[in-house]
A and B are shown apart, each in its own frame.
Chain A
Amino acid sequence: MNHQGHGPSAVIAGVGASRQGKFPGSTDLSLATEAVLALLEDCGIDKDDIDGLLTMPGTTSRDPAKHYLELGEHLGINPKVAGSLQMGGATCGALVQQAALYVEAGMADAVLCVFGDAAKTGGSRFSAAPGRDPSWKNWGMFGNAANSAMGATRHMALYGTTSEQLGWVAVNGRRNASLNPDAVMRDPITIEDHQNSRWIVEPLHLFDCCLITDGGVAILVTSRQRAKDLRQFPVSLLGMGQGHTLETLARKDWWYLPHQQDCISRAYRMAGLSPSDIDVAQLYDNFTISVLFWLEHAGFCKPGDSGPFVEGGTRIALDGELPLNTAGGNLSESYMQGWLHVVEGVRQMRHGAGVRQVKDAQTCLVTGRGMTLNTASCLILGRD
């Protein structure tokens, strides 16, 4: 690969994940701690060498803005840099970017990024209504799926996208999860299963929607120099990008998330890469329609063509032209709000994904999005 990139020299040197699923008695802290222990084992860094702590509070966090305080005390860390950020599914990418910039600037050398959430057993509800005053609940607009469903309806009307095509994203995720011993949902599903699953909000079925799970994830960003002393192959950050539409409703074509295209364009530019250079992708799949939008925003197909792109599932399969969500994603692996997408991207770039490994993969695009269609971040991971 010949890219003329100017991404940071910082690398992802370690990853760790807790058990994923339903664990009565677990807390966001206990799950985050499990993930950190797994990370220490993964890369062999001494806890006391960690000099940065960036966290994402989960839905069950008691005091989200001060989450880093609680977790840092719990882990016995007194870092040079710290903080917490909440941008939903875009948070992980944004924190890895922040960590890389801290390392790049010499403000820290080993920055730990952590997320933990007991969403499943902690009684988190994902059916609240967004909006300010008046709130959207005045018109009966409830739930995280509703915003994405709006986009699905218009995409279907403009381009002829079908529910069955959305179903292929779910079938693909489950097929990959069946090869992932850590995935929560491993029984293969069919398009018929997808079509027969109940409406969450039409046009989205249950199998168009992500899981709700307990779990934790940790990611270590270090200097390339420090990574040499650690166990794992260092994964490069070839490109990084963000994009945000903070004017909910008011931005033209808000339903289509125009900021996501900007987000990925910025990362391509930093990496000196184009869509055809991407070997494997972990695209944020809170809902199946989100993946279709990403495919268009990332330039893997033309606007409107994502339905046919995924139909039949061959292009996006592990041996296809663009292997997609190779660990199962939010839909089938676990709903870690994009954190496991980065972990899987790292494993693919280490060539350590076992039976899910995409042969000779040199680059991986990882995307995340969050809030009320507001936020987006992405990373282009690589091997050099």
Chain B
Amino acid sequence: MNDFTPIPAPSELSAPFWASGLDGVLRLQKCARCSHIRFPLDPICPRCLSSEHEWTALSGRGTVQTFIRFQRAYDPSWEDRVPYVVALIQLEEGPVMISNVVGDGALEVEVDDPVEVVYEHLGTNAALPQFRLIEEK
């Protein structure tokens, strides 16, 4: 697991996103004009086109809209992780985020299961937001 390095050098746009998890709180861009919370990250708000935004703290809770299981790695950096789950997470605050379901029972995840964010720290300036099942399988 030690050579698992999926996070690229954070860009100007994404640096706050990656750094957010260092204190365990999920933050996404919230438009300063229309309050729309967005994902994927974007320099402008896709709803009102304003470029003003703040990084707003979210509850970190959501549900699994859908998921897939990778039984093989399509990139060498994932070889130690198979099988693993990639999921679309419907966040409480609205956006749908791509992520992983990890931890106890992750491989038995089902659609609409409630989940909460957990972070895997990678280096000193980035943490990968993933989700774990709230209820035991």
Chain B residues with a Cβ under 8 A of chain A: 6-8, 11, 13-14, 17-18, 38-42, 46, 65-75, 78, 81, 84, 86, 88, 95-100, 110-112, 128, 130
Return the chain A residue nearest B12 by Cβ: A133
Task: Give 10 nearest A-B pairs by CB, closest first.
Answer: A157-B111, A142-B74, A154-B66, A202-B69, A127-B74, A149-B68, A199-B71, A153-B66, A150-B66, A141-B86
- The CA-CA distance from A58 to B99 in the complex, in Å, is 31
A154 and B70 contact, Cβ closer than 8 Å, known pairs A138-B7, A139-B98, A250-B95: no
- Asked if B46 contacts A255 (CB within 8 A), the reply is no
Q: With an 8 A cutoff between CB atoms, is A23 at the interface?
A: no
Please indicate the chain B residues that have their CB under 8 angstroms from the CB of A254 in the complex. 96
Please indicate the chain B residues that have their CB under 8 angstroms from the CB of A250 in the complex. 38-40, 46, 95-96
Please indicate the chain B residues that have their CB under 8 angstroms from the CB of A137 in the complex. 6, 75
Please indicate the chain A residues that have their CB under 8 angstroms from the CB of B73 in the complex. 140
- Asked if B70 contacts A138 (CB within 8 A), the reply is no
- The CA-CA distance from A78 to B69 in the complex, in Å, is 50
- The CA-CA distance from A203 to B72 in the complex, in Å, is 13
- Asked if B6 contacts A154 (CB within 8 A), the reply is no
Q: With an 8 A cutoff between CB atoms, is A158 at the interface?
A: yes
- The CA-CA distance from A98 to B66 in the complex, in Å, is 36
- Asked if A154 contacts B39 (CB within 8 A), the reply is no
Chain A residues with a Cβ under 8 A of chain B: 127, 129, 131-143, 146, 149-151, 153-154, 157-158, 199, 201-203, 247-250, 254-255
- Asked if B99 contacts A139 (CB within 8 A), the reply is yes
Please indicate the chain B residues that have their CB under 8 angstroms from the CB of A154 in the complex. 65-66, 111
- Asked if B65 contacts A255 (CB within 8 A), the reply is yes
Please indicate the chain A residues that have their CB under 8 angstroms from the CB of B40 in the complex. 131-134, 248-250
In this complex, which of B13, B46, B65 has the most chain A Cβ atoms within 10 angstroms of its Cβ? B65
Please indicate the chain A residues that have their CB under 8 angstroms from the CB of B110 in the complex. 157
A-B contact pairs, 7 of them (CB 8 A): A132-B40, A142-B70, A146-B86, A150-B66, A153-B68, A249-B39, A249-B96
- The CA-CA distance from A241 to B110 in the complex, in Å, is 36
CB distance from A64 to the nearest CB of B (A): 23
CB distance from B94 to the nearest CB of A (A): 10
- Asked if A202 contacts B68 (CB within 8 A), the reply is yes
- Asked if A139 contacts B86 (CB within 8 A), the reply is yes
- The CA-CA distance from A207 to B78 in the complex, in Å, is 24
Which of B13, B71, B98, B128 is in CB contact (< 8 Å) with A136? Answer: B98
